[in-house]
Amino acid sequence: MGMLLMLRTIGGLFVAVVLLAIAVYTGKTWLSNFIFGGVAVWFIFYTVMLFGFSAISKEKLLGLNEPKEFCGFYLDCHMHTTVTDVRKTKTIGDKRANGEFFIVTVKVFSNAKVATLGFDGLKLHVIDAEGKLYPHSPEVEKPDLWFARPVPAGESFERDVVFELPVNVQNPRLDMHDDQSLIEKVLVGDEDSIFHKRAYFKLSERFRGRQIS
């Protein structure tokens, strides 16, 4: 629905500009007033919808192998991510954590039928119970193309992402988002829209105890 509202807004603005030009050219003041009034009413309606959907949204916690879909500015939601494994270790190679390394295996997959898709700028960080953010630790990760590699229709790939977290960290959750367009900030119902609650991946569900070197 958010995408349809946005398309109607863009289309309505285009029509309004054309009608306003006609009104100015013909000197029809009543038409200009009608156009400005209609645009104002629509933007009030859109703003109420935007903040209303954000207000009723709820935070989601996804467990292992529970997918998160990414729709963005598109009419489809073919791209997905999921966490397939979570491990803890004190050392990776010759690097030793002040707290603990959380090694999170992230799977990216597409359920598209034909098109090859991909993320433009997938961002990941961990947030704890107090709202503190922890970025990933690229210095201890294997060199890779990050998450920018294209995903052919129906295929997937996995990548390990490492976070250094305190030993006593409470309720660590992984946040993933793909900033493809600023328009998503004002897209009704989009997770990246203003004040909208997010879907996080739990990182404390289970640990297999494996380590990497």
18 and 89 belong to one structural domain: no
Question: pLDDT tens digits for 36-91?
Answer: 999 999 999 999 999 999 999 999 999 999 999 887 555 567 889 999 999 999 99
Determine the pLDDT at residue 72: 55
52 and 64 belong to one structural domain: no
Determine the pLDDT at residue 122: 86
Domain boundary, last residue among 34, 56, 78: 56
Q: Residue 45 CB: number of other CB atoms within 10 A?
A: 12
| % pLDDT > 70, the chain | 90
67 and 50 belong to one structural domain: no
Write the CATH number for 161.
Answer: 2.60.40.1240
Determine the pLDDT at residue 207: 47
Residue 144 lies in a domain: yes
132 and 73 belong to one structural domain: yes
Count structural domains, the chain: 2
Query: Where is pLDDT greater, at 87 or 148?
Result: 87
Confidence of residue 213 (pLDDT cuts 50, 70, 90): very low
28 and 92 belong to one structural domain: no
Determine the pLDDT at residue 161: 95
Residue 211 lies in a domain: no
47 and 99 belong to one structural domain: no
Long-range contacts of 164-169 (CB under 8 A, 24+ apart): 164/97, 164/98, 164/99, 164/100, 164/101, 164/102, 164/134, 164/137, 165/99, 165/100, 165/101, 165/102, 165/126, 165/128, 165/134, 166/99, 166/100, 167/99, 167/100, 169/99, 169/128
Q: Average the pLDDT over each of 80-94, 95-109, 199-213 and give the range with the smallest value.
A: 199-213
Determine the pLDDT at residue 194: 86
What mean pLDDT value characterizes the chain? 87
Determine the pLDDT at residue 206: 53
Mean pLDDT for the stretch of residues 130-150: 89
Determine the pLDDT at residue 179: 66
27 and 120 belong to one structural domain: no
| Residue 209 pLDDT exceeds 50 | no
| Residue 33 pLDDT exceeds 50 | yes
Domain with 168, as residue range(s), is: 60-202
Q: pTM of the entire structure?
A: 0.79
Confidence of residue 211 (pLDDT cuts 50, 70, 90): very low
